[in-house]
Amino acid sequence: MLTTNAPALSFIKPFLLFRFRAFSTSPRTISIFPATKLHSFHSRRSRVCTFIAMTGNNATAGVSSPEHVAGKWYSVPDLRLRDHRFTVPLDYALDRDVSPKISLFAREVVAVGKEEQSLPYLLFLQGGPGFECRGPTESSGWINKACEEFRVVLMDQRGTGLSTPLSVSSMLQMKSAKDLVDYLKHFRADSIVNDAEFIRVRLDPDAKPWTVLGQSYGGFCAVTYLSFAPQGLKQVLLTGGTPPLGNGCSADSVYRVAFEQVIRQNEKYYKRFPQDVEIVREIVKHLAESEGGGVLLPSGGILTPRVLQLVGLSALGSSTGFERLHYMLETAWDPVIVPGAPKLLSYCFLKAVENFLSFDTNPLYALMQETIYCQGASSQWSAQRIRAEYEGKFDAIKAAKEGHPVLFTGEMIFPWMFDEIHALKPFKEAANLLAEKKDWTPLYNIETLKNNKVPVAAAVYYEDMYVNFKVAMETASQIAGIRLWITNEYMHSGLRDAGGKVLDHLLGMLNGKKPLF
Peptide bond into 129 cis (omega under 30): yes
CA separation for the pair 207, 200 (Å, rounded)? 6
CA separation for the pair 120, 43 (Å, rounded)? 22
Angle (CA) 22 26 30, round 5°: 95
Tell me the Cα Rg of the chain: 23
Out of 68, 84, 492, 505, the active site residue is 492
In the DSSP assignment, the letter for residue 389 is G
Out of 42, 176, 179, 439, the active site residue is 439
In the DSSP assignment, the letter for residue 393 is T
CA separation for the pair 318, 261 (Å, rounded)? 13
275: exposed, middle or buried (C-beta count within 10 Å: 0-12, 13-18, 19+)?
Answer: exposed
Out of 139, 216, 227, 314, the active site residue is 216
- Contact of 71 with 82, CB cutoff 8 Å: yes
| Residues in contact with 376: Cβ distance below 8 Å, sequence separation at least 6, in sequence order | 247, 248, 438, 439, 440, 441, 442
Q: Is residue 186 annotated as part of the catalytic site, yes or no? A: no
Distances (CA, A) of 257 to 306, 322, 390, 463: 20, 21, 12, 12
Find, among 163, 155, 313, the residue nearest to 222 by Cα: 155
CA separation for the pair 367, 381 (Å, rounded)? 11
Q: Is residue 492 annotated as part of the catalytic site, yes or no? A: yes
CA separation for the pair 429, 174 (Å, rounded)? 13
Q: Is residue 156 annotated as part of the catalytic site, yes or no? A: no
Could you give the residue numbers annotated as active site?
A: 216, 439, 492
